[in-house]
Amino acid sequence: MPSSSGSTPLSRPPEIETILTTLSRYNPETTTVLQEYVVTQCATGSYDLMANLALLKLYQFNPELMRDETVLNILAKSLTVFPEPDFTLALHLLPPSLLHQYSSASTPNSTIPLPPAADTDDQLSNSVHRLTYLNSLLELAAFPAFWRIVSSDVDEEYADLVADVTGFEDAIRRGITKSVTVSMRSFKLESGLSWWNFTNKEAVEQWVEAEMPGWVIEGESIVRKDEEDTTTAATSAVQPATGKIKFEQFSRVIRRVYENELLHH
């Protein structure tokens, strides 16, 4: 089940479960426990949406307790589960002033937006803007642009922001894999280089073998081999103009005709 369905992840320790299911989620003192939990998530690669949102809510209620680092880590973590809407849900719980001045213009003839404009005075705002921009790139499936920005030399801030999350790159790659497997039946091997940020074809091949069961490499393309076909549109196959009508449906008409016959004789 997707994470936003609120189901309990296996990695959640019992004391967190208690916090989330009782009123202690409003107790300001639980911020320390939840903050530690975020650190754990970053270190081990696990992920717990409800706990992170609960912490953001506590920050909402007790702004003086807010820790910039934790907030940024939560946002970075929610990037890793894209295409889930988790990043957006987290944004809703942030103080409005953080996003107030965010804007990213689009270039003409391109759907890919530019990085956010000039920096504001607030360091936290700037970081949030950058992460939001990264999220936009992922949502727009502009994967080459995403990798370019994240590993950019021009603005090292981006790399700093995601540095705390172990396995960030692989997690993003997995998200991209999900998008790709859902929408494609086959694609060129060399696209894999820019989409997954690999430097050579062998790395791509290794990735496909490890992470994409049911897909094989055929020459210069990566092809889906299993029978699972995701191209089933919502209402299944084309329904023919039905010729079948049950006899009972005629009952009203027949009865009426019968009555008419009776009455007129």
Partner 1 sequence: MDTEQVAYDYDDFIQKTGDYDFEDDEPLATDLIDHEGFDEEQLLQQQQLFQRQIQIQQQQAAAQLPDAVRNFILYFHHCMKENNVYDLHGCYENSFNRLTEKFYKNTPWPDPHGVVAPLVNNDQPFVTLYTELYYRHLYAKLQPNLEDRFASYDNYCIWFNYIFDSSSPPELELPTNWAWDIIDEFIYQFNSFALYRSRTVRKSHNDEEIQQLREHPQTWSTYTVLNVLYSFIQKSRMNEQLEAIKEGRDPDEVAGEDGSRPLYKTFGYFSIIGLLRVHTLLGDFTLALKTMEGIDLSKKSKYARVAGAQFTTYYYVGFCYMMMRRYADAIKAFSHILLYISRTKGFHNRSAQYDSVTKRSEQMYALLAICVALCPTRLDDSIHTTLREKNGEQLARMQRGGEESLPVFEELFSFSCPKFMSHGPPDYDNPANNVDPLQHHLKVFMMDVKRTMLTPTLRSYLKLYSTMNIEKLATFLEMDPEELRSGLVVFKQKSRQVRWTEGSLLDGEVVNVSDLDISLEGDLINISEAKIGRKFGDWFLRNTAKYYAVQDTILNKNPEKQEEKEHKDKRRERREKNAEKKGNK
> Considering the complex, what minimum distance in angstroms separates the CB of residue 166 from partner 1?
25
Which residues sit opposite 68 in a β-bridge? none
> Considering the complex, what minimum distance in angstroms separates the CB of residue 13 from partner 1?
19
> Considering the complex, what minimum distance in angstroms separates the CB of residue 225 from partner 1?
13
Q: Do the Cβ atoms of 20 and 7 come closer than 8 Å?
A: no
Q: Is 194 helix (H, G, I), strand (E, B) or coil?
A: helix
Query: 200 or 231: whose CB is closer to partner 1?
Result: 231
Query: 154 or 182: whose CB is closer to partner 1?
Result: 182
* Cα–Cα distance measured from residue 88 to residue 120, given in angstroms and rounded to the nearest whole number: 21
Query: 106 or 166: whose CB is closer to partner 1?
Result: 106
Query: 43 or 114: whose CB is closer to partner 1?
Result: 114
Residue 214 backbone dihedrals phi, psi, to 5 degrees: 90, 0
> Considering the complex, what minimum distance in angstroms separates the CB of residue 47 from partner 1?
14
* Cα–Cα distance measured from residue 137 to residue 115, given in angstroms and rounded to the nearest whole number: 10
> Considering the complex, what minimum distance in angstroms separates the CB of residue 149 from partner 1?
15
Nearest CA to 51 out of 81, 79, 13 is that of 13
Q: Do the Cβ atoms of 198 and 204 come closer than 8 Å?
A: yes
- DSSP annotation of 243: -
Query: 23 or 118: whose CB is closer to partner 1?
Result: 23
Q: Do the Cβ atoms of 203 and 233 come closer than 8 Å?
A: no
